[in-house]
Amino acid sequence: MKKAIIGIGIGIAVAVIAIGVVVTVKKPGVISQLTKSQKDTPASVIPQDAVAYFGIYDVKENWNKFKKSNFWTNLAALPLWQDIQFEETMKTLQDEFKTQTGLELNEDNFMELFGQEFAFALFMGNERQSGPSAVILSKVGTKTRLATALISLSDQGDAQYEKIDYKGTTLYHMAGTEENPMDMTFTFVQNMMLMELGTENKNITAIVDLILSGDGKGSLKNHPRFKRVTAQEGESHMQVLYVNAKSILTSIDSPAMPELFQDEDVRNGIKTALSSLETIGGSAVVKPDGLFTKFVMVPNYDTDNEQLKKVWSSAPQPSKALGMVPRDTIFFSSSQSMDLAGMWNNWQENMIRQNAEQANAILTTVNTLETNLGMTLREDVFPVLSNELAYFIYDLDVQGFIPIPKLAVCFRITDAKKANDLMQRLVSSINNWVGGGAPVAGGETAPLLAIENASFMDVPVSVIKINQFPVPGLTPSYAILGDELIITSNSNTLNEIIAVANGKQDDLRDSENYGKVKDIFTEKNNQLSFVNVELAVTKVVDLCKWLIDLQEAAGETGGLDPETVALLKENLIPLVECFKSIKALAANTLFTSTGIEKVVVYRVEDF
């Protein structure tokens, strides 16, 4: 049956990751650098008018080496798999799959089918056919068993295959039925398996032509647009992604599109999502010091959206906030291309276009809030804020009654006095809106919030005291350092930021894990992000232990049952600790005259 044939690839793909857990428990080892991909990839035989492409290369070699990493070895050894009866479940799934398809559901069969190179390509209307279709392409090993199974399955049920000879290659074609209107065509050419699903299925012959010619002319791999968004200099790829947004938008209104795309709301949603783009793409490369992913977006510079054009033309700048971030910070992100007023306008327009009812409800809430506070975003807030916004999580304090994150937000401002006035107005407006707070002597009530002025290292500091329901460790504070307004969740964090800014403490750039990814950061950029994954994992484990300690202290009155506590101790904490192998994650984004480039690196101890 056609569904069974399609399910061969999908079913094995879903299950093979789980199968690897069972296999790996018996084969521990140490990983070395992963193998680079072959020079010739499926993109060299995919026609250049494909509107989307996703390829995974060197699957088997990279998978075998990944299974020997500390991360995977530790993951496979978790008692979790025994607790959920994983092997028994897999055995049942394998038996059922073999009954339906005649193929063993195991890693060897999966790797025979997808172990070298695997790709998915999407076509919309083109000169060969008016409707869309999807193509799956894989370099296969011994094709005999697979071909026999596919042909055998195609004989089952009402949908019989038709043999079509095309330049000496046999195409097996099954027409759609009322139950399943998609046609399906598959074939084997040289060492490749091709499968096309659609309503006309004429793209498969174009792929056969490219395979037989071997010259790559007219292929996606040699198209300038594909090269622009997938290239990483001097390296081969492990994964590649490509989306031609412009071509998708051109085809979306065609009457030949499937029923789903005849829905105007669906089409409008796709148009809204893709209208500002021309091409999207990226590639992943494994290097000795980590996994590097490069993502490229080529904007649609012909758009009428002036706010987006303004953002795209923003020149890269250094992040001023980076020099104020304490060394052992868990997460940091900064954008130096913020246009808050423009973004607010753009968001409203898009929301109204996509869902006017929901947009009006949100805008009504915002208007009510502005009225109650006696200030507006457009007139009072946006004019004070400039082009940089940074935020970070410095720590998670689990020593008190409840965990308190140490957070900070940094705004670059246009005027220090106006920024300070804005903060004081905001506190005053909240008090006026909410009314009285905690009782004080004489039967009166203190305001909900009160500003207490202080100083640290000669920097004026304002602490916002919460008079009603105060929370230990939660003391919102703010200060102005040069042209930066810094708002923190507690005063100690603000003091540490001031100390770092004054050179009295190390900043984030001095941390060991930041040093492992620092090479991807350009001196000037539009956006940058850093996650100390190893430290983040430690904090998550601390949080789990805090929950356990709280439960044990509360005894029978605690909110967690013994099974949940055991789950935390025996499975969740060991599972989370596996991710300590990932030391850090970092991203650097540049806006250039030809597109937006984002490089992401994952620094893993095994690489």
pLDDT of residue 539 exceeding 70:
yes
Scanning 409-532, the segments in alpha helix (DSSP H) are 416-434, 491-501, 512-515
Per the model's pLDDT, the better-predicted residue between 60 and 329 turns out to be 329
Let me know if residue 360 belongs to a domain.
Answer: no
**Domain boundary residue, one of 266, 299, 332:** 299
With bands split at pLDDT 50, 70 and 90, how would you rate the model's confidence at 88? confident
| C-alpha–C-alpha distance, residues 23 and 72, integer Å | 11
Last residue of a domain, one of 299, 328, 360: 299
Hey, what amino acid is at 571? N
- Examine the domain organization and report whether 333 and 460 are in the same domain: yes
Query: Alpha-carbon distance 318 to 94, whole Å?
Result: 55
pLDDT, one tens digit per residue, over 389-440 is 999 999 998 877 788 899 999 999 999 999 999 999 999 988 888 765 555 5
pLDDT over 90 (residue 151): no
Q: Rounded to an integer, what distance in angstroms lies between the CA atom of residue 199 and that of residue 249?
A: 20
DSSP 18-62: HHHHHHHHT------PPPPPPSS-GGGGSBTT-SEEEEEESHHHH
* Position 160 in a domain: yes
* Residue 29: pLDDT band with limits 50, 70, 90: very low
Residue 219 included in any domain: yes
Indicate the range of 4-18, 201-215, 250-264, 343-357 predicted with least confidence: 4-18
Residue 25 lies inside a defined structural domain of this protein: no
Task: Indicate if 397 and 522 belong to the same structural domain.
Answer: yes
User: What is the distance between the alpha carbons of residues 432 and 428, in angstroms, rounded to a whole number?
Assistant: 6
Tell me, yes or no, whether 330 and 294 share the same domain.
no
The verdict on 204 and 171 lying in the same domain is yes
* Residues 284, 250 share a domain: yes
- Do 590 and 452 fall into the same domain? yes
- Chain centroid offset of residue 282 CA: 13
Q: Tell whether 218 and 323 lie within a shared domain.
A: no
**Domain span at residue 451?**
314-340+386-415+424-434+445-604
- Which range among 143-147, 315-319, 352-356, 470-474 shows the weakest confidence by mean pLDDT? 143-147
Q: Is residue 259 part of a domain?
A: yes
**Average pLDDT of the segment spanning 87-114:** 78
Report if residue 502 sits inside a domain. yes
Asked whether residue 402 falls in the same domain as residue 461, the answer is yes
Q: Residue 99 domain-assigned?
A: no
User: How far is the C-alpha of 294 from the C-alpha of 235, rounded, in Å?
Assistant: 12
Q: Which of 2-11, 226-235, 354-363, 536-545 has the lowest mean pLDDT?
A: 2-11
* Number of domains forming the structure of the chain: 2
pLDDT at 35 over 50: no
Same domain assignment for residues 252 and 157: yes
In a domain, 367, yes or no: no
Mean pLDDT of 143-158: 60
Residue that terminates a domain, selected from 268, 299, 330:
299
pTM, whole model, 2 decimals? 0.82
**244, 122: one domain:** yes
User: 336 and 470 share a domain?
Assistant: yes
